[in-house]
Amino acid sequence: MPINESEIDKLLKQLKQQDKTPVATKTPKPKAQKPSRSGKWKDAPSWFFPSKYGEQVADELEVFINNRTPVMCIGGTGLGKTVITDMIARKLGRGSVGFNCYSGMDIASLVGLWLPHKGDVIWNHGIVTNAIIRGDVLRIEEWTRCTPELKSKMFGIMDSKDRYWALPEAKIDKVDVHENFTIVASANPAGKGYVGTMREDKATMSRFGAVIEINEPLADEKKAMLNATDNNHDLSQRIVRFAELCRKDALTYVSTRDIYYLATAIKSGLDPKRAVEVTIAPKFEGMESAIITHGRSVFEDMGKEIKTDTVSSVAKGKTDA
């Protein structure tokens, strides 16, 4: 009786299956997922995740921005004040623009100025004037360094009623103020290592509807460092520990921005202890040795060893001086 070719194929397949020895296979571990953001934080920088305190401050700040109330945020640099202001502005559907104040600043570029154009001279509105017209949230950084000239000009736009913005320079008596225009000023605390800061007078402070003091980072730094180090748990934990040690002294209080720069430098291949020397220590004049010591205690067993009797050129130069 002839054998059907299809039956032969079936037999061959069965024999091959019997010869196969089961091999144990490892199930690959799922890759750690970076934390995700939602709501008003969805457009935040990739590394920024709000802490519970950050959520609280954001909720409070949103109340005043939504009510178009001028508000002052007082806190150290690099703690996240600008980030949360931008996020709230986006959530409310408003633009957000800002500038930094400094001693001797020229306010012409902020208010507006005459510029040549095709053989003529025309008036060009500045950052502040455009923000007033569009209804943006205007961020004024380092308010305590603001010149008296700019402050006095801002008073009219900060009044609770009948806000006005005059441009005599452009021969414009009054600019229409958009109903959504809001000022969020920020300032570093008086003293505490900040040069040029000072306490505001009562007449100035009375024009702010609220003053929010920010005394700790607004970001969840554990999540932020995980993101900045591509989920390197050991490294991120060490960086957070380094920040905790530094913050035991007000004179070496590192910001979220500081340790973010540190994290990115190490992730990019710089020796951890050397990264501390170049990204953190130079920012704290007179306290470089303390910063470097904290760095060595946290990162000593990572990367190339650094002799304890060797001081960085930056720190040594400060010491010798």
- Judge whether 174 lies within some domain: yes
Question: What's the total number of domains in the chain?
Answer: 2
Residue 113 falls inside a structural domain? yes
Instruction: Based on the fold, state whether residues 50 and 128 are members of the same structural domain.
Output: yes
Amino acid at 252: T
Two structure tokens written together for 192: 């505490």
Can you give the pLDDT at residue 22? 46
Under a CB-based contact definition with an 8 Å cutoff, are residues 65 and 95 in contact? Answer: no
CA distance 290 to 103: 31
Task: Report how far Cα 132 is from the mean position of its chain's Cα atoms.
Answer: 25
Is 220 within 8 Å of 54 (Cβ atoms)? yes
pLDDT of residue 188: 84
Q: What is the pLDDT of residue 311?
A: 39
Q: Do 201 and 101 reside in the same domain of the chain? A: yes
Q: Please report the pLDDT score of residue 70 as a whole number.
A: 95
The b-or-e profile of 2-14 (16+ CB within 10 A means b, else e) is eeeeeeeeeeeee
Q: Indicate the pairing of strand 120-125 with strand 112-117.
A: antiparallel
Residue 43 · residue 92 · CB < 8 Å: no
With 0-12 / 13-18 / 19 or more C-beta atoms within 10 angstroms meaning exposed / middle / buried, residue 238 is buried
Claim to verify: residue 273 and residue 141 sit in the same structural domain: no
Of 98, 63, 1, 51, the C-alpha closest to 256 is 51
Over the stretch 203-219, which tens digit does the pLDDT of each residue have? 788 889 999 999 899 99
Task: Note whether residue 19 is domain-resident.
Answer: no
Give the pLDDT of residue 208.
93
Q: How does pLDDT run across 90-121, given as a tens digit for each residue?
A: 999 999 999 999 888 888 889 999 999 888 99
pLDDT at 246: 97
- 182-187 and 210-214 as β-strands: parallel, antiparallel, unpaired? unpaired
- What pLDDT, on a 0 to 100 scale, did the predictor assign at position 233? 95
Q: Are residues 55 and 197 in the same domain?
A: yes
- How far apart CA 31 and CA 210 sit, in angstroms, is 45
Same domain, 158 and 288: no
Q: Which domain holds residue 302?
A: 221-320
Domain finish residue from 175, 198, 214: 214
pLDDT at 133: 96
SS3 call for 64: helix
pLDDT at 34: 54
- Whether residue 308 sits in one domain with residue 241: yes
Instruction: Using the 3D structure, point to which of 157, 185, 214 is the last residue of a domain.
Output: 214
Find the DSSP H helices in 167-320: 202-205, 221-228, 233-246, 256-267, 272-279, 288-299, 313-320
Which residues of the chain carry a pLDDT beneath 70?
A: 1-40, 160, 190-199, 303-321
Supply the pTM of this predicted model: 0.75
Dihedral (Cα; 271, 244, 282, 289), 10-degree rounding: -90
Whether 148 and 236 share a structural domain: no
Q: Which secondary-structure segment (H or E) carries 127? A: helix 127-134
pLDDT of residue 38: 61
Of the residues 159, 187, 214, which one is the last residue of a structural domain? 214
Do 190 and 61 lie in a common domain?
A: yes
Residue 201 pLDDT: 74
Whether 176 and 237 map to the same domain: the answer is no
In this prediction, residue 27 carries a pLDDT of: 45
* 197 and 231, same domain (yes or no): no
Per DSSP, what are the bridge partners of residue 71?
Answer: 184, 210
Q: What's the CA gap between 73 and 216, in Å, rounded? A: 12
- If one counts every other C-beta atom within 10 angstroms of the C-beta of residue 72, the result is 23
